[in-house]
Structure 1
Amino acid sequence: MTINGNNVKLKYDGELANSTVLDEDAELDESMETEHDDYARSRVPDHAKRGAGAILSVLVGFVTAFFFVLVGGLFLNKSGALSTWIALAISFALLTVLNLIVARVASREGLTAELITRSCGFGSVGSVFTTLIYAGTFVIYAGAEGQILARSIDQIWDLPNQVWYIVVATMFVPMAWSGISSMTKILTWTVPVYVILLIWAIISGYQHNGGMPTGMFSAMPEGAVGGVIGVIVVLSALAGTIGINPFEASDYNRFVRSSEFKRKAFISVVLPYALLFFGAIPLGIYFSLITKSIDPSIYFIGLIGLIPGVALAWVSQIRVNLTNIHVSSVAYASGSEALGAKILGRRFWIIAVTIMTITLMWLDVLGNLYTFLEWTGIFLLSWLACVVADIVIVRGLLKIVTGPLEFRTHKIRRINPVGVCALLTGTVTASLIWILNDNPVISGMSAYVGFVVAFVVHVTLAYITKGRTYFIDQDDKRLLINKVKA
């Protein structure tokens, strides 16, 4: 592997790469992998690759979520406008670098986040733990978004919350059933409606306020902390977003041809998150300053009327929850295969995710949102640190392991202590800091401390073990130690 600027590129041994690809092709010919599973358990074949525009249309789906507009208002009330903007800029810069590293590998290898993880130091079973948290995070997002959607439609037709929770969850099953093919069409067709309604709301808010709100960059609501502490508070809440989005970006960028990734990375990797950090979240500040509320399911109705406001909520939530349900079902399908449950395909997990989403809505996941954002950031950043450390240092700088990422269960160890131990060390360290420390700056940075700890431990263990825990065959030619012996 060589490192060149922000690009990470594997140099495959020609004979080894060819034999590995042929071996995988033969295996896939015999597998039960089908297109409707969106290649959750294999490499994406060349005929299934898509343009960067199709990936952008899917990823922009989560940008339109009311969730991010809501947290924009939440950040404003917690930290003030200036601190929020500073934290958004820092988070975007960090996320962009991490996105490019992981998504580049996903494009080249054609693998899901789960398959990349098992290859990068976790093993076939060791990666299941990360899959459960990763997929579970998107289930929680789906539950939070579903509650917002239910609140909105309840303004038109007052029914028990439990009834609307079931309706808004099950409606996504047929939409997500055929995978990315149908999703791309739905998300593309809904863009004009969403843009028109959102512009209407922005203009209405502007007129209602008599111009731009004066505090977009300076407002300090009562109780907001501001300053450095305010920046840390927002960074802490965004740790989960920084931790999970490189994996989400990789799950979709695996459909981008490797030869096209470099020149199209701005479209499929950078632009969606620029729209998130400098579009969706700041809109939450804008609308909160105008309406004195942080709940978009309520204030949009006040700005543009009942029917248009509800329509905006539904178009927005349909777009984002399609992404949430699809990503979580793909992740669970990959994880179940590692545990030997190949019969549990993506469509089975769509049903299971729907049931979990309904349960979370009944338990009021939206009411516990801020705590959820902080803790998931601790785990997700530690996990991301392990994968990035493996790509950049273990396989790149040190070349302890080389060649194509190996994800097949009969080739790799079930549990690789390198990634598993690093993840646990980073997560436990950060969790203890978060729970036990009263200093808001230190506790707020706990997830980022966990990232550094996990990164260092992962590299250290890989170096000490010389990569021997990566493959079942201790004489595998992809290990640097065996190449040196030869």
Structure 2
Amino acid sequence: MSTTQSRPSAATEPEPDGAPQGGGAVRETLEDYTLRFAPRSYRRWTPMVVATTALGGIAYMADFSIGAGIGLSHGTGNALLAIGVAAVLIFVTGFPLACYGARYNLDLDLITRGAGFGYFGSVLTSVIFASFTFIFFALEGSIMAQGLKLGLHLPLWIGYLVSTFMVIPLVIYGMKALSKLQVWTTPVWLLLMVGPLVYVVAEDPGTVDRFLAYAGTSGDGGINTASVLLGAGVCLSLIAQIGEQIDYLRFMPPRTDKNRRAWWTAVVMAGPGWVVLGALKQAIGVFLAVYILSGVGPAAATEPIQQFRGAFDAMMPSWLVVPLAVVLVVISQIKINVTNAYSGSLAWTNSFTRVTRRYPGRMVFVLVNLGFALALMEADMFSFLNDILSFYSNCAIAWVVTVATDIMVNKYVLKLSPLQPEFRRGMLYAVNPVGVVSFVAASGLSIAMYFHALGDALQPYSPVAAVVIAFVLTPVMALVTRGKYYLRRTDDGVAEPLLDESGNPSASPYTCHVCAQEYERPDVTACVTHEAHVCSLCLSTDRSGEHVLPV
């Protein structure tokens, strides 16, 4: 992937112009435009290829564990309601974010900068998102290690190492390698996941009745508001998944009259639509946990390897059961953890470069992210999974709801937030109180509620508090500040508009006089000390500030 914006020779097979030539900006050749706008010259995939690639990461097995944990604790009725409530909220908040990412070809961190947080303020949310990626990498790695222990008798600690290091080669080449991996493995994954479930229900319809009647360990089987909200809080930890979806959707081609229907279908399906499949997998996790509960006990019933071992056992010879279950778990882990490692490296690199004004390269932070994940696995995070996810969800909810509200309300209703996203240094204030105050207040109060600081009765309502506070405070802060802190300046010094006549980001090339590479219009500004242009990454790494436009 070349920052020289080379013209690919095939629509689905972009090729770089050559090897990296050295220098901070140019090293992005293999790094998928880590901190910048994704140029049109690179975005040669069709909408459906991008969507398929994005949805490939939804193959993770954590949903089965999450659903099983909620169902076993609170009963099937409460679990299904909790899953439904969380799915609706995730879809509603994810829709505007996905549209912005696909339309303007920016990742969620870059969108967050101009949607209420400011240039440095969004470092907070970059860390939140990076944490999401290594928490879920650790969860998926733990599930794979359980599979390797069952199938190959590997000790868990060795399984953790295998699941961590096997993704590194796949992550190096970014979108090009990931698109191939996700497209080719998805049919196999779907067959192995859906086949045994259909067989079990067809052969024994009574399993459905037992599933629906299961009462759980913490109640009488009736619908209970506290149980639903506690379960929804766990599910809502996945709200940050939209960030990983946008890491792919930013490579969508320009929207035109010719591809409008396919474009919107792909954005909805692979953006907020991921949660439909996610919710179905959580419900299946409840079903499989109830199905195998009497045979393996409550602790093992939350392990996907045991769930699918039990399902496969009903439909095929015993010698084939464990190998197929292990294959399913390994494929799922690879599909999601290349995405976790990839997206996490983007988030860490964004944060580090803004704070230090040094660009070490994305691969450094692939290893950092994997290190955090491996530490969590070795600490046996799987045994206290729901506690980790319930705590984390408060931060994730506050962030995503704040950004979604800024787009939906502050931009389109109040018109106090600039309609076009902005991410470049010099164009933004360092901190925008609209997003930062809303996020800190929503996450801080909801975390306090989760840890019983406001009483036991309010503890289950912590995710609701995060949603409500972020949704209310974001427009209130915009009104109080009158939108003053969104843009430090409105003119970037380049005469050509950012968008072309169709409303898509302009593809006109400009040469950065610092790194001597070509970038498209949305990625450059005028240089304050030269009659020339400078790219966004060179601005980010400008330690003297000599290229940054004044107020």
TM-score, normalisation: structure 1: 0.85
Amino acid aligned to 1:70: S
Aligned equivalents of 1:266, 1:399: Cα separation in 2: 24
Question: What is the correspondence of 1:58-457 to structure 2 with a 5 Å cutoff?
Answer: 58-202=53-197, 205-206=200-201, 212-224=207-219, 226-227=222-223, 228-242=225-239, 244-259=240-255, 260=260, 261-277=263-279, 279-292=280-293, 293-304=301-312, 305-435=321-451, 436-440=453-457, 442-457=458-473
% same residue: 22
- Cα drift, residue 210 of structure 1: 6.8
- Cα drift, residue 475 of structure 1: 9.1
Deviates more, 1:396-405 or 1:421-430: 396-405
Aligned equivalents of 1:163, 1:251: Cα separation in 2: 30
- Cα drift, residue 198 of structure 1: 2.3
Amino acid aligned to 1:38: D
State the superposition RMSD in angstroms: 2.6
Amino acid aligned to 2:55: V
Distance 1:63-1:423 versus aligned 2 partners, 3 A rule: same
3-state SS, counterpart of residue 151 of structure 2 = coil
Distance 1:31-1:345 versus aligned 2 partners, 3 A rule: closer
Deviates more, 1:337-346 or 1:134-143: 337-346
3-state SS, counterpart of residue 487 of structure 2 = coil
Deviates more, 1:127-136 or 1:291-300: 291-300
**Aligned position for 2:544:** none
Aligned equivalents of 1:74, 1:201: Cα separation in 2: 21
Judge conservation of contact 1:393–1:459 (CA < 8 Å) in 2: yes
- Flag structure 2 segments of 5+ consecutive residues without an equivalent: 1-23, 294-300, 313-320, 498-551
1:174-218, Cα deviation, whole Å (9 max, x unpaired) = 011111211111112112322232244325644785754323333
3-state SS, counterpart of residue 43 of structure 1 = coil
Amino acid aligned to 1:401: S
Deviates more, 1:325-334 or 1:43-52: 43-52
3-state SS, counterpart of residue 165 of structure 1 = helix
Distance 1:247-1:472 versus aligned 2 partners, 3 A rule: same
Judge conservation of contact 1:46–1:257 (CA < 8 Å) in 2: yes
Aligned equivalents of 1:64, 1:406: Cα separation in 2: 33
**Aligned position for 1:484:** none
Distance 1:322-1:392 versus aligned 2 partners, 3 A rule: same
Distance 1:270-1:383 versus aligned 2 partners, 3 A rule: closer
**Aligned position for 1:43:** 37
Aligned equivalents of 2:486, 2:40: Cα separation in 1: 27
- Cα drift, residue 355 of structure 1: 1.7
Distance 1:116-1:287 versus aligned 2 partners, 3 A rule: same
Judge conservation of contact 1:77–1:224 (CA < 8 Å) in 2: no
Aligned equivalents of 1:57, 1:94: Cα separation in 2: 23
Judge conservation of contact 2:71–2:216 (CA < 8 Å) in 1: yes
Amino acid aligned to 2:157: Q
- Cα drift, residue 149 of structure 1: 0.5
Amino acid aligned to 1:40: T
Judge conservation of contact 2:394–2:462 (CA < 8 Å) in 1: yes
Amino acid aligned to 2:236: A
Amino acid aligned to 2:466: G
Aligned equivalents of 1:167, 1:368: Cα separation in 2: 22
Distance 1:123-1:81 versus aligned 2 partners, 3 A rule: same
**Aligned position for 2:28:** 34
Judge conservation of contact 1:64–1:280 (CA < 8 Å) in 2: no
- Cα drift, residue 422 of structure 1: 1.5
Aligned equivalents of 1:270, 1:369: Cα separation in 2: 24
Aligned equivalents of 2:52, 2:137: Cα separation in 1: 19
Distance 1:472-1:203 versus aligned 2 partners, 3 A rule: closer
1:128-150, Cα deviation, whole Å (9 max, x unpaired) = 11111111111010011101111
1:382-415, Cα deviation, whole Å (9 max, x unpaired) = 1122212221222222222325222112221222
**Aligned position for 1:464:** 480
Amino acid aligned to 2:290: L
3-state SS, counterpart of residue 155 of structure 1 = helix
1:15-64, Cα deviation, whole Å (9 max, x unpaired) = xxxxxxxxxxxxxxx94373522222111111333333233333333432
Larger radius of gyration: 2
**Aligned position for 1:483:** none
Amino acid aligned to 1:275: L
TM-score, normalisation: structure 2: 0.75
**Aligned position for 2:509:** none
Judge conservation of contact 2:51–2:267 (CA < 8 Å) in 1: no
Deviates more, 1:90-99 or 1:200-209: 200-209
Aligned equivalents of 2:427, 2:394: Cα separation in 1: 31
Aligned equivalents of 1:128, 1:295: Cα separation in 2: 35
- Cα drift, residue 171 of structure 1: 0.3
Q: Which has the higher helix share?
A: 1
Distance 1:203-1:418 versus aligned 2 partners, 3 A rule: closer
Aligned equivalents of 2:334, 2:248: Cα separation in 1: 18
Aligned equivalents of 1:429, 1:380: Cα separation in 2: 13
Distance 1:215-1:143 versus aligned 2 partners, 3 A rule: same
Aligned equivalents of 1:306, 1:157: Cα separation in 2: 10
Judge conservation of contact 1:81–1:218 (CA < 8 Å) in 2: yes
Aligned equivalents of 1:222, 1:406: Cα separation in 2: 50
Distance 1:224-1:241 versus aligned 2 partners, 3 A rule: farther
Distance 1:102-1:208 versus aligned 2 partners, 3 A rule: same
- Flag structure 1 segments of 5+ consecutive residues without an equivalent: 1-29, 479-486
Judge conservation of contact 1:73–1:285 (CA < 8 Å) in 2: yes
Aligned equivalents of 1:255, 1:475: Cα separation in 2: 26
Distance 1:90-1:160 versus aligned 2 partners, 3 A rule: closer
